[in-house]
Amino acid sequence: METNKDSGEEMRYSCHTPNPGMTGRGPQGLSPRHAKGLLSIAIVTTGAGFLSSFSPNYTSLIILRCLVGFGLGGGPVYLSWFLEFVPTPKRGTWMVIFSSFWTLGTVLEASLAWIIMPRLNWRWLLALSSVPSFMALLFYFPTPESPRYLCMKGRTTDAHKILEKIARLNQKSLPSGTLVSDQSIELDEEFAPSEDTHLLCSKENKTKVLIAGFSSVLTLLSPQLIRTTLSLWLLFFGNAFSYYGIILLTSELSSEQSKCQSISLHSEKFQDASLYVDVFITSLAELPGLVLSAIIVDRIGRKLSMAIMFMLGCIFLLPLAFHQKEVLTTGLLFGARMCLMGTITVANIYAPEIYPTSIRATGYGVASAVGRIGGMICPLVAVGLVSGCHQTAAILLFEAVMVVSGLSVMLLPLETKGRGLTDVVTVTVIASD
């Protein structure tokens, strides 16, 4: 089951990166019914994650971890769903709080590896790591549909019932008046099911759904949205490439530095223990990254927040173009990961805000899919170049990607701070800088 080949490591890292196939198409296919989407994500991630601990060979492990990536790739469904329940004034802060649970999971996973790996083996680690996904299955039935989406589909009665339930749980009462909706989704109306939908054959229904989904993707590249879409794709690609690269650099620089410098002063067991410490410490960097995001995102805006944190990330990473002492290396990686976690958090707030409800899940999902491609490519740099003692080239490439990502932020046409969510494309393109 073990391999010492760098190509094997690159394949394992790339396959485990949340797969763009599910991330790109998944949210669009799942967005009309968020609750079912959340259930599908939990089932795929839990099942493949747990079964991978019983992998009889390396090939089956790769396949199952790839399926885990498919499941994790549906993550934008969670964020898009949560966003539609959050009021505008504190939307940035609440989305940072939501993102903090990703960081909590990262820290707990690093802690689990530190405890499990020296005493048991990787099978125990994978099995225990699937427990949180199993817990997500328990939340399927109490998960409500988005009232905003229901209103746009003309199902105001269903939306009102959900709002009443939310009000009761919060021991509040709804404002007086009647819930109405005069909005319509331009993309969905053409393919919206009528009262006679049950008379249509299932094949025809599936064809219409596929056409509607394809139309939504094409809308992202319409003249009104193409600048936003391409800038977001570049931003998400650079974010994922840099973020996953920093994570892999933590282990690669720790394990390869002595080899490249022809130094072998520590035992393998000591090096493994040091690696777990380094991974745990750098994973903690995401906490101050979230705090920094929460402080500035609703004060100076989304675009400026991302630009500043990209600049700071470049500053932290640049000294690693040359070999540094382990303590300094860990500290610099800590700072770089803190900044990149901040940019990812703010980007994940900005993307659902900039797109209207009619294509929000699609736009955010496709952008995330492009980002995951960056996450799949980065092992070729972090593992390949560093293992080949080309640390300087690897770091300079990461620097270039971060600079380009920062420039893509400045190309984004709108600042979404304090801006209400829109429902249709025509509303989105009215406002401009």
For residue range 40-94, list pLDDT tens digits in order. 777 887 888 888 888 888 888 888 888 887 777 666 667 667 777 777 667 777 7
Phi/psi region, residue 2 (left: phi>0; alpha: psi -120 to 50; beta: rest), is beta
Alpha helix ranges (H) inside 355-424: 360-377, 379, 386-387, 391-411
- The model's pLDDT over 117-171, given as tens digits with 9 standing for 90+, comes to 777 888 888 888 888 877 777 777 777 777 777 777 777 788 888 888 888 887 7
Residue-level pLDDT at 362: 80
The answer to whether the CB of 394 falls within 8 A of the CB of 21 is no
Would you state the pLDDT for residue 197?
41
Asked if residue 3 has pLDDT above 50, the reply is: no
pLDDT at 409: 92
How far apart (Å, rounded) are the C-alpha atoms in residues 62 and 126?
13
Q: What is the pLDDT of residue 199?
A: 41
Q: Tokens standing for 131?
A: 């427990």
What is the DSSP-derived secondary structure letter of residue 288?
Answer: H
- Contact by Cβ (8 Å): 224, 425: yes
Q: What is the DSSP letter of 358?
A: G
Q: What percent of the chain has pLDDT over 90?
A: 10
Long-range Cβ contact pairs of 252-261 (< 8 A, separation 24 or more): 252/382, 252/383, 252/386, 252/387, 253/320, 253/329, 253/333, 253/386, 253/391, 254/278, 254/326, 254/329, 256/386, 256/387, 256/389, 257/323, 257/326, 257/329, 259/389, 260/323, 260/389, 260/391, 261/323
Rg from Cα positions in the chain: 23
Nearest to 351 by CA among 107, 151, 140, 99: 99
Taking the CB of residue 253, how many other CB atoms lie within 10 A of it?
A: 25
- Is 6-143+220-425 a CATH 1.20.1250.20 domain? yes
Q: What percent of the chain has a predicted confidence (pLDDT) above 70?
A: 68
Quick check: 138 and 46 in contact, CB under 8 A? no
pLDDT of 283 over the 70 cut: yes
Q: Which residue has the tokens 């990961």?
A: 337
Lowest-confidence range among 5-19, 49-63, 231-245, 289-303? 5-19
CA–CA distance, 329 with 261 (Å, rounded to integer)? 15
Question: What would the DSSP string read from start to end of 46-76?
Answer: HHHHHHGGG-SSHHHHHHHHHHHHHHHTTTH
**Residue 74: Cβ within 10 Å count:** 26
pTM: predicted TM-score of the whole model, two decimal places: 0.65
- Distance from C-alpha of 51 to C-alpha of 43, rounded to nearest angstrom: 12
- Look at residues 302, 386, 415, 360 and name the one whose alpha carbon lies nearest to residue 149: 360
Confidence of residue 278 (pLDDT cuts 50, 70, 90): low
- Secondary structure (3-state) at 84: coil
Residue 70 tokens read as 């498919």
The count of C-alpha atoms lying within 13 angstroms of the C-alpha of 16, restricted to the half-sphere facing its C-beta, is 17
What are the helix and strand counts (H, E) for the chain? 22, 0
Between CA 398 and CA 402 the distance in angstroms is 6
Considering the chain, what is the average pLDDT of its residues? 73
Please enumerate in sequence order all residues whose Cβ is within 8 A of that of 421, keeping only pairs 6 or more positions apart, or say none.
83, 84, 88, 148, 353, 356, 357
d(Cα 305, Cα 302) in Å, to the nearest integer?
5
- The lowest-confidence range among 14-28, 167-181, 331-345, 379-393 is 14-28
Q: Which has more confidence, 261 or 205? A: 261
> What is the per-residue pLDDT for 220?
79
Q: Which two tokens stand for residue 268?
A: 């393998």
- Provide the token pair at 250: 């933590």
DSSP state of 229: H
Question: For position 45, what pLDDT does the model report?
Answer: 79
Q: Is 432 exposed, middle or buried (0-12, 13-18, 19+ CB in 10 A)?
A: exposed
- The pLDDT assigned to 430 comes to 40
Query: Tokens standing for 238?
Result: 């650079």
* 121 vs 193, more confident: 121
Measured between alpha carbons, how far is 4 from 269 in angstroms, rounded to an integer?
16
